Structure 1
Amino acid sequence: MRSALFVRALLALAAAFVLGGTLLTVPATSAPTAPAERVSTRVSALAPGCLPSRCWTAIAFNPETLRSGWTQSSAWGSKTRAMTSAHNHCRVRTVNEGHARACIWPGKRRVFNQGGCVAVAWRLRNGRLIEWAKGKAFGPIVAQRRARAAVRGEGTIDSGYSCPPRKG
Protein backbone atom coordinates (compact mmCIF):
# COMPACT_ATOMS: atom_id res chain seq x y z
CA MET A 1 0.00 0.00 0.00
CA ARG A 2 2.81 2.38 0.92
CA SER A 3 4.72 1.65 -2.28
CA ALA A 4 1.67 2.55 -4.39
CA LEU A 5 1.30 5.85 -2.54
CA PHE A 6 5.01 6.49 -2.97
CA VAL A 7 4.81 5.86 -6.73
CA ARG A 8 1.78 8.14 -7.06
CA ALA A 9 3.57 10.88 -5.10
CA LEU A 10 6.61 10.55 -7.37
CA LEU A 11 4.45 10.74 -10.49
CA ALA A 12 2.70 13.85 -9.18
CA LEU A 13 6.02 15.44 -8.28
CA ALA A 14 7.49 14.59 -11.70
CA ALA A 15 4.44 16.05 -13.43
CA ALA A 16 4.76 19.24 -11.37
CA PHE A 17 8.44 19.59 -12.32
CA VAL A 18 7.72 18.93 -15.98
CA LEU A 19 4.90 21.47 -15.98
CA GLY A 20 7.01 24.05 -14.17
CA GLY A 21 9.99 23.51 -16.46
CA THR A 22 7.82 23.62 -19.57
CA LEU A 23 6.15 26.86 -18.55
CA LEU A 24 9.52 28.49 -17.88
CA THR A 25 11.09 27.40 -21.17
CA VAL A 26 8.19 28.19 -23.53
CA PRO A 27 8.58 31.57 -25.28
CA ALA A 28 5.83 34.11 -24.69
CA THR A 29 4.83 34.05 -28.38
CA SER A 30 3.86 30.36 -28.42
CA ALA A 31 0.27 29.15 -28.57
CA PRO A 32 -1.40 28.59 -25.20
CA THR A 33 -1.92 24.87 -25.87
CA ALA A 34 1.77 24.08 -26.47
CA PRO A 35 2.74 23.59 -22.76
CA ALA A 36 -0.18 21.24 -22.12
CA GLU A 37 0.72 19.13 -25.15
CA ARG A 38 4.31 18.81 -24.00
CA VAL A 39 3.32 17.92 -20.44
CA SER A 40 0.80 15.26 -21.49
CA THR A 41 3.41 13.64 -23.73
CA ARG A 42 5.95 13.43 -20.95
CA VAL A 43 3.50 12.27 -18.28
CA SER A 44 2.12 9.54 -20.55
CA ALA A 45 5.69 8.32 -21.04
CA LEU A 46 5.92 7.78 -17.27
CA ALA A 47 2.58 5.96 -16.96
CA PRO A 48 1.54 2.86 -18.98
CA GLY A 49 -0.71 4.69 -21.45
CA CYS A 50 -2.67 6.74 -18.92
CA LEU A 51 -2.88 7.80 -15.32
CA PRO A 52 -4.78 5.17 -13.28
CA SER A 53 -7.84 7.31 -12.48
CA ARG A 54 -8.00 8.62 -16.08
CA CYS A 55 -7.84 5.27 -17.93
CA TRP A 56 -10.66 4.31 -20.31
CA THR A 57 -12.10 0.89 -21.06
CA ALA A 58 -14.76 -0.25 -23.51
CA ILE A 59 -16.59 -3.36 -24.68
CA ALA A 60 -17.79 -4.12 -28.21
CA PHE A 61 -20.55 -6.75 -28.00
CA ASN A 62 -21.46 -9.17 -30.79
CA PRO A 63 -25.16 -10.10 -30.47
CA GLU A 64 -24.87 -12.92 -33.03
CA THR A 65 -22.17 -14.87 -31.17
CA LEU A 66 -22.69 -13.42 -27.66
CA ARG A 67 -18.95 -12.74 -27.49
CA SER A 68 -17.23 -9.44 -26.87
CA GLY A 69 -14.08 -7.55 -27.57
CA TRP A 70 -12.57 -5.34 -24.89
CA THR A 71 -9.89 -2.68 -24.64
CA GLN A 72 -6.46 -4.20 -25.06
CA SER A 73 -3.27 -3.17 -23.25
CA SER A 74 -1.83 0.30 -23.81
CA ALA A 75 -5.03 1.61 -25.48
CA TRP A 76 -6.52 2.99 -22.24
CA GLY A 77 -5.21 6.53 -22.71
CA SER A 78 -8.24 8.01 -24.49
CA LYS A 79 -11.88 7.17 -25.03
CA THR A 80 -11.44 6.89 -28.81
CA ARG A 81 -8.44 4.56 -28.54
CA ALA A 82 -10.23 2.39 -25.97
CA MET A 83 -13.34 2.07 -28.14
CA THR A 84 -11.32 1.40 -31.30
CA SER A 85 -9.25 -1.24 -29.51
CA ALA A 86 -12.38 -2.99 -28.18
CA HIS A 87 -14.09 -2.94 -31.58
CA ASN A 88 -11.00 -4.25 -33.37
CA HIS A 89 -10.56 -6.97 -30.75
CA CYS A 90 -14.18 -8.05 -31.20
CA ARG A 91 -13.80 -8.23 -34.98
CA VAL A 92 -10.57 -10.30 -34.99
CA ARG A 93 -11.47 -12.86 -32.31
CA THR A 94 -11.82 -16.38 -33.70
CA VAL A 95 -15.08 -16.89 -31.77
CA ASN A 96 -16.60 -14.11 -33.90
CA GLU A 97 -15.29 -15.50 -37.20
CA GLY A 98 -17.90 -15.08 -39.90
CA HIS A 99 -19.81 -12.61 -37.72
CA ALA A 100 -17.21 -9.85 -37.35
CA ARG A 101 -19.49 -7.21 -38.86
CA ALA A 102 -22.04 -7.80 -36.09
CA CYS A 103 -19.70 -6.32 -33.45
CA ILE A 104 -21.39 -3.20 -32.13
CA TRP A 105 -19.28 -0.04 -31.76
CA PRO A 106 -19.01 0.77 -28.01
CA GLY A 107 -20.05 4.40 -28.57
CA LYS A 108 -23.38 3.32 -30.05
CA ARG A 109 -24.64 1.95 -26.72
CA ARG A 110 -22.20 3.92 -24.50
CA VAL A 111 -20.39 0.78 -23.35
CA PHE A 112 -17.30 2.60 -22.09
CA ASN A 113 -16.11 4.03 -18.78
CA GLN A 114 -13.30 6.19 -17.47
CA GLY A 115 -11.54 5.23 -14.24
CA GLY A 116 -13.83 2.26 -13.59
CA CYS A 117 -15.21 -0.94 -15.02
CA VAL A 118 -17.89 -1.52 -17.62
CA ALA A 119 -19.95 -4.70 -17.91
CA VAL A 120 -22.32 -6.22 -20.45
CA ALA A 121 -25.15 -8.58 -19.51
CA TRP A 122 -27.46 -10.43 -21.87
CA ARG A 123 -30.62 -12.48 -21.48
CA LEU A 124 -31.41 -15.58 -23.52
CA ARG A 125 -34.76 -17.30 -23.82
CA ASN A 126 -35.10 -20.53 -25.79
CA GLY A 127 -31.55 -20.07 -27.06
CA ARG A 128 -32.24 -16.63 -28.58
CA LEU A 129 -30.92 -13.27 -27.45
CA ILE A 130 -33.77 -11.23 -25.96
CA GLU A 131 -31.88 -8.17 -24.78
CA TRP A 132 -28.53 -6.92 -23.57
CA ALA A 133 -27.47 -3.95 -21.45
CA LYS A 134 -24.47 -2.30 -19.86
CA GLY A 135 -23.48 -1.49 -16.30
CA LYS A 136 -20.77 0.84 -15.00
CA ALA A 137 -19.06 1.02 -11.62
CA PHE A 138 -15.65 1.32 -10.00
CA GLY A 139 -15.31 -2.46 -9.60
CA PRO A 140 -16.29 -5.44 -11.76
CA ILE A 141 -18.79 -7.00 -9.34
CA VAL A 142 -20.98 -3.90 -9.04
CA ALA A 143 -20.71 -3.19 -12.79
CA GLN A 144 -21.96 -6.71 -13.58
CA ARG A 145 -24.69 -6.44 -10.96
CA ARG A 146 -25.95 -3.21 -12.58
CA ALA A 147 -25.85 -4.72 -16.06
CA ARG A 148 -27.70 -7.84 -14.91
CA ALA A 149 -30.35 -5.72 -13.17
CA ALA A 150 -31.10 -4.05 -16.50
CA VAL A 151 -31.96 -7.37 -18.21
CA ARG A 152 -34.34 -8.92 -15.70
CA GLY A 153 -36.97 -11.29 -16.95
CA GLU A 154 -37.47 -14.90 -18.01
CA GLY A 155 -34.47 -16.67 -19.42
CA THR A 156 -30.80 -17.19 -18.74
CA ILE A 157 -28.71 -14.16 -17.84
CA ASP A 158 -24.95 -14.02 -18.32
CA SER A 159 -22.41 -11.19 -18.18
CA GLY A 160 -18.83 -10.11 -18.74
CA TYR A 161 -16.76 -7.07 -17.83
CA SER A 162 -13.68 -5.01 -18.64
CA CYS A 163 -11.60 -2.88 -16.27
CA PRO A 164 -8.64 -0.55 -16.95
CA PRO A 165 -5.39 -0.85 -15.01
CA ARG A 166 -5.54 0.51 -11.46
CA LYS A 167 -1.85 1.12 -10.79
CA GLY A 168 0.72 3.22 -12.61
Structure 2
Amino acid sequence: MKREDLQKIEELTKDQIDSIMNLHQNDVTAWNQKFDTQKTELANKDQQITDLTEQVKEYDGADVKQLQKDIKDWKTKYDTDMAKEKKNSAIKLAVLGAKPRNEKALMALIDTEAIKLNDDGSLTGLTEQLDNIKKDNDFLFEPAQDPKDPEPKPNQVDLGGNHDTQPEVDDGQLRSVFGLPKDAGGNK
Protein backbone atom coordinates (compact mmCIF):
# COMPACT_ATOMS: atom_id res chain seq x y z
CA MET A 1 0.00 0.00 0.00
CA LYS A 2 1.29 3.42 -0.91
CA ARG A 3 0.51 6.83 0.54
CA GLU A 4 -0.34 8.14 -2.92
CA ASP A 5 -3.06 5.52 -3.30
CA LEU A 6 -4.69 6.69 -0.06
CA GLN A 7 -4.47 10.35 -1.02
CA LYS A 8 -6.58 9.63 -4.11
CA ILE A 9 -9.47 8.76 -1.81
CA GLU A 10 -11.14 12.13 -1.17
CA GLU A 11 -12.88 11.37 2.13
CA LEU A 12 -9.61 10.58 4.01
CA THR A 13 -7.86 13.31 5.96
CA LYS A 14 -4.09 13.60 6.31
CA ASP A 15 -4.23 12.33 9.94
CA GLN A 16 -6.27 9.31 8.87
CA ILE A 17 -3.81 8.54 6.09
CA ASP A 18 -0.91 8.82 8.58
CA SER A 19 -2.67 6.44 11.01
CA ILE A 20 -3.37 3.93 8.25
CA MET A 21 0.24 4.11 7.07
CA ASN A 22 1.54 3.58 10.65
CA LEU A 23 -0.69 0.49 11.08
CA HIS A 24 0.40 -0.78 7.71
CA GLN A 25 4.08 -0.26 8.65
CA ASN A 26 3.59 -2.24 11.88
CA ASP A 27 2.05 -5.12 9.93
CA VAL A 28 4.84 -5.08 7.36
CA THR A 29 7.50 -5.05 10.10
CA ALA A 30 5.87 -8.03 11.88
CA TRP A 31 5.63 -9.98 8.62
CA ASN A 32 9.26 -9.21 7.77
CA GLN A 33 10.37 -10.47 11.20
CA LYS A 34 8.38 -13.69 10.73
CA PHE A 35 9.84 -14.10 7.27
CA ASP A 36 13.42 -13.59 8.53
CA THR A 37 12.84 -16.08 11.37
CA GLN A 38 11.50 -18.69 8.98
CA LYS A 39 14.36 -18.04 6.56
CA THR A 40 16.87 -18.62 9.42
CA GLU A 41 15.07 -21.80 10.53
CA LEU A 42 15.08 -23.08 6.96
CA ALA A 43 18.83 -22.41 6.65
CA ASN A 44 19.44 -24.26 9.95
CA LYS A 45 17.41 -27.25 8.78
CA ASP A 46 19.30 -27.29 5.48
CA GLN A 47 22.57 -27.36 7.44
CA GLN A 48 21.28 -30.20 9.64
CA ILE A 49 20.32 -32.18 6.53
CA THR A 50 23.80 -31.61 5.10
CA ASP A 51 25.46 -32.69 8.38
CA LEU A 52 23.29 -35.80 8.69
CA THR A 53 23.95 -36.72 5.07
CA GLU A 54 27.70 -36.54 5.77
CA GLN A 55 27.29 -38.74 8.85
CA VAL A 56 25.30 -41.30 6.90
CA LYS A 57 28.01 -41.38 4.24
CA GLU A 58 30.49 -42.48 6.95
CA TYR A 59 28.39 -45.63 7.45
CA ASP A 60 27.76 -46.15 3.75
CA GLY A 61 28.36 -49.80 2.96
CA ALA A 62 28.07 -50.92 6.59
CA ASP A 63 26.01 -54.03 7.08
CA VAL A 64 23.56 -53.08 9.83
CA LYS A 65 22.36 -56.66 10.32
CA GLN A 66 25.96 -57.85 10.74
CA LEU A 67 26.63 -55.06 13.24
CA GLN A 68 23.54 -56.06 15.23
CA LYS A 69 24.65 -59.71 15.18
CA ASP A 70 28.16 -58.72 16.32
CA ILE A 71 26.73 -56.70 19.20
CA LYS A 72 24.54 -59.62 20.24
CA ASP A 73 27.54 -62.00 20.07
CA TRP A 74 29.70 -59.65 22.17
CA LYS A 75 26.92 -59.30 24.76
CA THR A 76 26.54 -63.08 24.96
CA LYS A 77 30.31 -63.50 25.36
CA TYR A 78 30.40 -60.80 28.05
CA ASP A 79 27.51 -62.40 29.98
CA THR A 80 29.16 -65.84 29.73
CA ASP A 81 32.54 -64.53 30.85
CA MET A 82 30.99 -62.64 33.78
CA ALA A 83 29.03 -65.71 34.93
CA LYS A 84 32.19 -67.83 34.72
CA GLU A 85 34.19 -65.23 36.68
CA LYS A 86 31.48 -65.01 39.38
CA LYS A 87 31.47 -68.79 39.67
CA ASN A 88 35.29 -69.00 39.89
CA SER A 89 35.39 -66.25 42.52
CA ALA A 90 32.72 -68.00 44.59
CA ILE A 91 34.64 -71.29 44.35
CA LYS A 92 37.90 -69.63 45.43
CA LEU A 93 36.20 -67.99 48.41
CA ALA A 94 34.66 -71.30 49.45
CA VAL A 95 38.01 -73.08 49.02
CA LEU A 96 39.70 -70.47 51.24
CA GLY A 97 36.99 -71.11 53.82
CA ALA A 98 38.03 -74.78 53.87
CA LYS A 99 41.49 -73.62 55.12
CA PRO A 100 43.78 -75.30 52.61
CA ARG A 101 47.53 -75.28 53.11
CA ASN A 102 47.95 -74.51 49.41
CA GLU A 103 45.01 -73.08 47.47
CA LYS A 104 46.48 -73.84 44.03
CA ALA A 105 47.12 -77.49 44.89
CA LEU A 106 43.56 -77.88 46.15
CA MET A 107 42.07 -76.07 43.13
CA ALA A 108 43.87 -78.52 40.81
CA LEU A 109 41.87 -81.36 42.36
CA ILE A 110 38.47 -79.66 42.05
CA ASP A 111 36.29 -80.24 38.98
CA THR A 112 34.88 -76.74 38.53
CA GLU A 113 32.66 -77.85 35.64
CA ALA A 114 30.69 -80.07 38.04
CA ILE A 115 29.97 -77.14 40.36
CA LYS A 116 26.95 -74.91 39.83
CA LEU A 117 26.55 -71.33 41.08
CA ASN A 118 22.98 -70.81 42.28
CA ASP A 119 21.07 -67.54 42.01
CA ASP A 120 21.46 -66.92 45.75
CA GLY A 121 25.27 -67.15 45.42
CA SER A 122 25.59 -70.60 46.95
CA LEU A 123 27.51 -73.39 45.25
CA THR A 124 26.16 -76.86 44.49
CA GLY A 125 28.63 -79.72 44.23
CA LEU A 126 31.65 -78.15 45.92
CA THR A 127 31.05 -79.42 49.45
CA GLU A 128 30.95 -83.03 48.27
CA GLN A 129 34.19 -82.61 46.32
CA LEU A 130 35.94 -80.98 49.29
CA ASP A 131 34.79 -83.79 51.61
CA ASN A 132 36.14 -86.45 49.22
CA ILE A 133 39.44 -84.61 48.85
CA LYS A 134 39.76 -84.29 52.65
CA LYS A 135 39.26 -88.06 52.97
CA ASP A 136 41.97 -88.91 50.48
CA ASN A 137 44.33 -85.94 50.89
CA ASP A 138 43.83 -84.51 54.36
CA PHE A 139 47.41 -83.18 54.32
CA LEU A 140 46.21 -80.41 51.94
CA PHE A 141 44.16 -78.86 54.75
CA GLU A 142 45.07 -77.18 58.00
CA PRO A 143 44.34 -79.53 60.88
CA ALA A 144 40.96 -78.99 62.44
CA GLN A 145 41.23 -77.51 65.90
CA ASP A 146 39.35 -79.15 68.73
CA PRO A 147 37.07 -76.54 70.28
CA LYS A 148 38.00 -77.88 73.73
CA ASP A 149 41.70 -77.21 73.18
CA PRO A 150 42.72 -73.61 73.66
CA GLU A 151 44.78 -71.80 71.07
CA PRO A 152 48.40 -72.84 71.32
CA LYS A 153 50.41 -70.12 73.04
CA PRO A 154 54.01 -69.30 72.30
CA ASN A 155 56.52 -70.24 74.95
CA GLN A 156 56.26 -67.84 77.83
CA VAL A 157 58.91 -67.08 80.37
CA ASP A 158 57.63 -66.31 83.84
CA LEU A 159 59.91 -63.83 85.54
CA GLY A 160 57.74 -63.61 88.61
CA GLY A 161 55.69 -60.72 89.74
CA ASN A 162 52.32 -59.55 88.63
CA HIS A 163 52.53 -58.38 85.01
CA ASP A 164 48.81 -57.87 84.59
CA THR A 165 48.75 -54.58 86.49
CA GLN A 166 50.83 -51.53 85.77
CA PRO A 167 52.69 -49.79 88.57
CA GLU A 168 51.42 -46.40 89.56
CA VAL A 169 53.87 -43.67 88.68
CA ASP A 170 53.15 -40.02 89.25
CA ASP A 171 54.04 -37.26 86.83
CA GLY A 172 56.86 -35.92 89.00
CA GLN A 173 58.68 -39.27 89.04
CA LEU A 174 58.50 -39.53 85.25
CA ARG A 175 59.75 -35.98 84.83
CA SER A 176 62.72 -36.62 87.08
CA VAL A 177 63.66 -39.83 85.22
CA PHE A 178 63.76 -37.93 81.94
CA GLY A 179 65.46 -34.88 83.40
CA LEU A 180 62.48 -32.61 82.93
CA PRO A 181 61.30 -29.93 85.33
CA LYS A 182 58.87 -31.25 87.98
CA ASP A 183 56.17 -28.81 86.96
CA ALA A 184 55.26 -27.22 83.67
CA GLY A 185 56.54 -23.87 84.96
CA GLY A 186 60.16 -24.99 84.57
CA ASN A 187 61.03 -25.42 88.31
CA LYS A 188 63.10 -28.49 89.28
For Structure 1 versus Structure 2, the TM-score category normalised by the shorter chain is under 0.3
TM-score, length basis structure 2: 0.22
Q: Which has the larger radius of gyration?
A: 2
Higher strand content, 1 or 2: 1
Q: Which has the higher contact order (CA 8 A, sep 6+)?
A: 1
Higher helix content, 1 or 2: 2
